Structure 1
C-alpha cells in the first residue's frame, strides 16, 4: 500500500469565524475582492479551495488557492493549502515550494510538516521525507497516517527494522489500520520471510473485513506467496479474486507505485500471466477502452 496523502488537514487551522460554505460556494463564480480586509478574504478563499479539492474539483480549487496565497502570502494557512492541492495534483516541486514557505512561516505546525514529508516522499527524496515526518510526529505523536508515511519511507530506504517498528506503532494507535499490517508483509517478503508475510497478509484481510473493505492488494500478495510455496490452485483462486476486486493490481507499474519490492514483483508476474487471471485483465482493459470510446466529449 502506498503512502497516505496528508492533505488539506491544515484546513483546520484556517479559523476566521466563518461557517461552513453553503452549496452555492461550490459552484464556479468570479471571485470579487474587497480590499478592506485582504487576509480574512484570503483565508476564506483558502477554506473554499480546500473544500473544492476534497471533491476533486481542482480546476476550481487551484485558482482560489493561488489567489489566497497572493492576497495573504505571509499566512501559513494559505501557503499550506496551496501546497496540499499541488500535492494532490502530483505537482511535487510546486507543492514542496509552497509547503516550505508555510513551514518557514510557522515552524511548529505538524500538519504542514506531515504534508511536506508526504511531498518529499512522493518526490523520492526520502531523507527529507523522514526528517519532516519525524519533526511533525514530535509535535503530534499520535498521527497514524503520518506515522504510516514514515514507515513507508524507511521501507523504501531498506531500513526494514525501522519500517516494521513504525508500522507496529501505527497499529498500536489504530488496530484497524490494515494497510500497515499489509506493508509489514511487504517488508517480510523482501527479507525472505515468506511465512511471516503470509501471516501478515491474512491478518490484513481480517482487518479490512472489519471495516467492510475488499482489499485486493493483500489478496494478490497472498496469491503470490502461496504460488511460491507450491500451492498453485489456491494461488490462482486468490489472484482471480483480487483481479475481480481491483484489476489495477494486475499492472506492474501500479504494484511498484504501491511499494511492492523487487522480489514480490518478480514472483507475481507468473501469476498475472496465468490464463484465468489474464482473461480478467483483458476483459477489464476492453471495458475501459469501450467506456473511453463512448464517453461524450
Structure 2
C-alpha cells in the first residue's frame, strides 16, 4: 500500500531529524511534512491491516500498538475500534475490550460482527443477559452465522433456559453440519435434564462428525459408566484423556459448560483405577516444562 510506505518514510525521517536535534541543540529545527486528514486516515487503515495480520498469527502484543495508532489516525473507522477491543479481550482485559467495542458499535450500530463480539465479551464477563441482548441484535441483521447461534445457545444454557439453548444449538448445526460442539452441547443439556439416553445419542453423533473430539468421547464414557457399561466406558475414557488430558481438570470442564450432574458422575469415573493409571501415563508422556 503506497500510503503505508509513505508514512513509514515520514516516521523514519522525523526520527532521524529528532536524533539530529538532540545532538545539535537548537541549531536546527526539523521540518515536518504537512499531512492531510485523508492521508492520515489511509495510514491508519494500513496500520489496521498490519494489526489484523498479526492478530491472525496470535501476535497480540505486537498488534496492539498498531491498532491503538490506527484508532487515533482513523477515529471514525469502526473496524479499528473493533479490532482494538478484540485484542484487549484476547489479553483478558474484558472491561477495556468492552468499552472499545461499544465505541465501535456506536459508530456502526447495524454491524452484526461487532454485536457478536460484544456478545462474546459479555459472556466471558458472566453477564449472560447482556450477551443474549447483543447476540440477538446481531442475528437480526445477519441470521446465518452458526457461531453466533452457538454462542447464544451457550448464554441461554448458563441462564438455565434449556429449551431455548437447544433451539439455538439446533439452528447452528442446521447451518453448519460439521459443528459438532452444537450437538455435543445438546447432550450436555439433556444430561442435566436427566435424559441420559438422549445425551448418549447426541454424543455418539458428535463423535461421528469428529472421531478425535475428546469432549464428547469423555462425556459418552461417563454416561456409559453411570449406566453400568463399564468396559466400553473405560475404553472411551482412556481414548479421550489420551487425546486431551485437560478434560481431567474440573475447572476446564466447567469452562466447557459441563453441568453439576455430569461433573459429579465424572468425578466418580475419573477416580477409577484404570483412568487414574491413564492420567499418570499421559502426565509422564508430556514434555517437561522449560
TM superposition score normalised by structure 1: 0.83
Deviations 1:157-200 (A, max 9, x none): 11000001111111111122111000000000011100000000
Partner of 1:50: 52
Checking the alignment, whether the CA contact within 8 Å between 2:242 and 2:282 is kept in structure 1 is no
CA positional deviation for 1:147: 0.7
2:208 equivalent among 206, 210, 217: 206
Q: 1:261 aligns with which of 246, 259, 262?
A: 259
Among 203, 221, 237, the residue aligned to 1:223? 221
CA contact (8 A) 1:117 1:130 kept: yes
Question: How many correspondences in the alignment?
Answer: 262
- Structure 1 residue 85 displacement after superposition: 1.4
Distance in 1 of aligned mates of 2:91 and 2:74: 22
Q: What is the CA RMSD across the aligned residues, in angstroms?
A: 2.0
Match of 1:78 in 2: 80
1:47, distance to aligned residue in structure 2 (A): 1.7
Alpha-carbon distance between aligned partners in 2 of 1:219 and 1:88, rounded to the nearest angstrom: 29
Paired with 2:282 and 2:116, the residues of 1 have a C-alpha distance of: 36
8 Å Cα contact 1:43/1:77 also seen in 2 = no
SS in 1 for 2:228: coil
For 1:180, the equivalent position in structure 2 comes to 182
Alignment correspondent of 2:196: 194
- Following the alignment from structure 1 to structure 2, what is the Cα–Cα distance between the partners of residues 66 and 282? 46
1:279 Cα deviation (Å)? 2.5
Q: Indicate conservation of the 8 Å contact 1:83/1:99, yes or no.
A: yes
| 1:92 equivalent in structure 2 | 94
| Residues 1:276 and 2:274 are matched in the alignment | yes
Q: CA deviation at 1:270?
A: 1.2
User: Which residue matches 2:288?
Assistant: 291
1:147 corresponds to which of 146, 149, 166: 149
Q: Which structure carries more relative contact order (alpha carbon 8 Å, separation 6+)?
A: 1
Structure 2 vs 1, CA of residues 62 and 282 (structure 1 numbering), >3 Å: closer, same or farther?
Answer: farther
SS at match of 1:230: coil
**Residue number in structure 2 paired with 1:247:** 245
Structure 1: how far apart are the matches of 2:124 and 2:265?
A: 25
Q: Write the distance in 2 (CA, Å) between the matches of 1:291 and 1:70.
A: 44
Equivalent residue, structure 2, for 1:12: none
Greater Rg over alpha carbons, structure: 2
Query: Could you tell me whether the CA contact under 8 Å between 1:167 and 1:180 is conserved in 2?
Result: yes
- Residue 158 of structure 2 corresponds to 156
